[in-house]
Structure 1
Amino acid sequence: MSVTLCPRRSAVRLVAGVLVLVSLLAAALGATAFGVVSAGARGPAPDFSGRPLRVGVAWLPPPDTPDMRLYMEEGFELDLAAALARALSADLSLVRVAPEAAAHVLKAGEVDLVLTRASTEDPLRRHARVVETGFSSGLSLAMRSDRPLAGWSALQGRTVCVTEANAQGLALAVRLGAQVRVLRAPAQALMSVRTGECDAALHDRALLDPLFGKMSWQKFSATLPPMDPTDLVVAVAPDAAGLAEAVEGVLRPLATPQTWQARREKWASTVSFEVYRDQVAADCH
């Protein structure tokens, strides 16, 4: 049995076939071009076999001494810096960098990356490649529940404890006219609220929340709505695309909500234990 095709339909099918081939060819060419652009954007993979990974942080802990107590730090910059160095098979060199100087030191090549807190409007986001770590928080207070402050403006003239590493908290307390007491570690600041030496301690709300969930902190869990929210980010120089991609790869399994929840819970449990330890030691002398 023979089949006769309609000439018009044959022409339509021929044109359709040509269009499909053209589309496939264009897609292939586009994919190739995209691959070239992507490879160029990524840049070479970082190699730290001959030198350390230089990480800028806003605060450096004091040198270890035999008589010095160990404390949980205010934030997670030091832990993440160590994790990045391990993942990149590099020795770690920490460099103190003021947050406002981050873009400058990156451009000058003085550090490879900077771990810092940045708001959504921070100029750093326009002058560097910024990789999010998944941690965000505003600042809040820990106060006695039986005599809480009514609002942020009530901090004027009150004694507020902040830690050496909490530059953002220090700036907020000064801006609000508080009498600031700077202490070494979060446990020391929070213990000062329990002993009455400070009216409040200023920390990340994301870290205070799991602390306030503990029964032993119910009498000291008064707080205020968070202020000045920021994100913990890793910033690299604009032309360091390869390093930025490597950092993204390292952070991907470390930056899940579940991982950060576990870190926050560990922070709260450790700090709570340190407060208990120091308070018991003080009571015994």
Structure 2
Amino acid sequence: MTPLFSSCLASSARRAAACGLAAALACAAAPAQAAAPTSPQATLRTAVHYVVPPFVGGAKVRTPEAVDTQLAQALADQLHARLQTTPISILKFGGGAQPATPEGAGSSFTIPAQADLALVSMPDGATPPASTVAIDTKYVSRPMAIMRSDTAIKSWEQLKGRTVCVSEGGLYAGTLAAQYGAVEKIYKAPADSLLALRTGGCDAAVHDDVMLKELLKLPEWKKFSATLAPPANAKSSLAFIVPASQAETIATAKDLVKQWRRQDYLNALNKKRVQDIAFEVYLDQVIPDCH
């Protein structure tokens, strides 16, 4: 047993205690910030690409692919508000039908009427809707594939007809079939997708490169070190999109992002999330009966 996964029973108990609220907030360290009040006076209605389902007692703890909920929660805390997330049902950049589409500038989405702001992954060159302000969180996403080290797949084009695992909370579901002819298998969370890769259920797993690069540092993933680097022009930056009329929210979001940069919060958050995801995979693959 590796040092990372030692003391399974104790670690599982600690995780169960720490992660009982929701998989969306699983074990994420928070930066120094104003604590959410016990009786918030307002609700921050935030539109996101993927709304994490409520945690159900007895279900497996799963860390979601996207950090959207955690970052939106941090902003809500700063505003002394309760977070409420809602999905962005229509999101197109440069005529693409998926938020991960990197080509082209301009955007064609609006903040839903039931939301106060949005948290969106915007491709390079995209612009926010009119009368809004974009506050870049500096969280950058690029698609990356990992495979068994002995794979014969050397390019994205060679994914045609091959089975690729993705998670429904990520940006890449639907894009791999459309762009490369891959056969997609969509799982609830990164841990499920990566477990399928380890057990031979797919030829490759595609997730954000910031997460996968950190994952491949772990010795347990040495046999899955073959990669496909992010395609050119595939960069997307996660940004708060706030109506220009919401001066307080804009100022608070800008201050919060500056705080994250000073504290290197996003890097620490990614490392903690990767540890959680790797642990979730480990529990299911090696010791499924460990609780």
Paired residues, number: 236
Once residues 133 and 283 of structure 1 are traced to their aligned partners in structure 2, the CA distance between those partners, rounded to angstroms, is: 39
Task: Give the unaligned 5+ runs of structure 2.
Answer: 1-38, 93-106
TM-score of the pair, normalised by structure 1:
0.76
Residue 61 (structure 1) aligns with: 52
For residues 202 and 257 of structure 1, the distance between their equivalents in structure 2, rounded to whole angstroms, comes to 29
SS of the residue 1:265 aligns to: helix
Moved more, 71-80 or 257-266: 257-266
Q: 1:121 to 1:169 in 2, by over 3 A?
A: farther
Quick one: distance in 2 between partners of 1:72 and 1:111?
25
Q: CA deviation at 1:180?
A: 0.6
Aligned in 2, Cα 1:89/1:257: closer, same or farther, shift over 3 Å?
closer
Relative to its length, the structure with more helix (as a share) is: 1
Q: Structure 1: which amino acid aligns with 2:161?
A: G
Q: Take 2:108 and 2:181, find their aligned partners in 1: how far apart are those partners?
A: 30
Tell me how far 1:203 sits from its aligned partner.
0.4
After the TM superposition, which of the residue ranges 91-100 and 165-174 deviates more from structure 2? 165-174
Q: Which residue of 2 aligns with 1:23?
A: none
Equivalent-residue separation in structure 2 for 1:178 and 1:245 (angstroms):
43
Q: In the alignment, is residue 278 of structure 1 matched against residue 269 of structure 2?
A: no
Equivalent in the alignment of 1:152: 156
TM-score, normalisation: structure 2: 0.74
Measure the CA separation in 1 of the matches of 2:46 and 2:246. 14
> Which residue in 2 is equivalent to 1:190?
194
Q: Does 1:161 align with 2:165?
A: yes
Tell me, in whole angstroms, the C-alpha distance in 2 between the residues paired with 1:148 and 1:241.
Answer: 53
Per the TM alignment, residue 186 of structure 1 is displaced from its structure 2 partner at its CA by 0.3
Separation in 2, partners of 1:83, 1:282: 33
Any residues of structure 2 matched to 1:232-243 within 5 Å, and which? 232-243=238-249
Task: Tell me the equivalent position of 2:268.
Answer: 262
Q: Once the 2 structures are TM-superposed, how far is the Cα of residue 243 of structure 1 from its aligned partner?
A: 2.0
Q: Is the 8 A contact 2:140 2:238 kept in 1?
A: yes
| Separation in structure 2 between the aligned mates of residue 255 and residue 148 of structure 1, nearest angstrom | 40
Q: CA deviation at 1:249?
A: 1.2
Q: CA separation of 1:68/1:283 partners in 2, compared to 1, >3 Å: closer, same or farther? A: closer
What's the CA shift string for 1:150-207, capped at 9, x where partnerless?
Answer: 1000011000011111133432343211111000010110111110101011101111
User: Which whole-Å CA distance do the structure 2 matches of 1:64 and 1:270 have between them?
Assistant: 16
Instruction: Give the structure with higher Rg (CA).
Output: 1
Counterpart of 2:252 in structure 1 is 246
Superposition RMSD in Å: 2.4
Mind listing any 5+ residue stretches in structure 1 that lack a counterpart?
A: 1-47
Residue pair 1:134, 1:257 contacting (<8 A) in 2 also: no
Q: CA deviation at 1:236?
A: 0.8
